[in-house]
Structure 1
């Protein structure tokens, strides 16, 4: 009988403390939500700057990153500069798309959902590959002109 009374007293005390705990937890949850939105916004902007959706980003972001990647690979073999620069450019676009996906999930989703990393990576890989293939086709059809860097003469 005493244990039943103890349990009922503990429950009543827990009921009294609960609103106080909720009041303390609310600002922490709000702070977490704001930090999550800020982090998501940062990733969204950074991803946009690296992605193929931003038309002016190549000169300022992607090409220097691609050249640096190619340069680092050319330290192993000088013939790797151009192929690794192309791979670096492609990878910077993939990273941009993935950062946009992660950032937009933080900014626009109110509920915490499980992320499917495989699906997000596959989506980023496919979209960047399609973008690269479209650019290559446009260059082959002479719709886009290539810089002198790629000439054979």
Structure 2
């Protein structure tokens, strides 16, 4: 097997799209502090130019959008990696499928959290007031 046939520029591009999507998605547990929250805050700051009261709501929307964009990028990267044919993908269909799956994932997490099946509280060592 020839290495140049194994790794093509197209596979490399789609792998990079998937990795960026994974880093933005809610499936990556450590990404919020490094990627999503700064993006959300930047989005909120930009929108708050028009009204300072929009900083928090726009930051929440920016956070949600960064997660959705991450899931859509993961989906596009995966579909293009797996797809063997040269036919073009339906971008609108892929975007709506990404929005639908990420919204379903969000609803699932909220339901699990509301029924106390998931615990989003901080670990005790982060909330402890005793340092020594």
Match status 1:69 vs 2:33: no
Q: Which residues in structure 2 correspond to 1:22-61 (within 5 Å)? A: 34-61=8-35
Rounded Cα–Cα distance in structure 1 between residues aligned with 2:44 and 2:107: 20
Rounded Cα–Cα distance in structure 2 between residues aligned with 1:98 and 1:133: 17
Runs of 4+ aligned residues of structure 1 deviating over 4 Å after TM superposition are 134-143
Normalising by the residue count of structure 2, what TM-score does the alignment of the two structures yield? 0.74
Render the CA deviation track for 1:60-98: whole Å, top value 9, x for unaligned.
111110111011111111111111111101111111111
State the SS of the aligned residue for 1:55. Answer: coil
Ranges in structure 2 where 5+ consecutive residues have no aligned partner: 123-132
| 1:108 positional shift | 2.1
Render the CA deviation track for 1:28-67: whole Å, top value 9, x for unaligned.
xx59x71100100100100111111111111111111011
Ranges in structure 1 where 5+ consecutive residues have no aligned partner: 1-29, 147-153
Q: Which residues in structure 2 correspond to 1:1-153 (within 5 Å)? A: 34-137=8-111, 143-145=119-121
State the SS of the aligned residue for 1:113. Answer: coil
More helix as a share of residues: 1
On the 8 A contact 1:62/1:92 being kept in 2, the answer is yes
Question: What is the number of residues matched between the two proteins?
Answer: 117
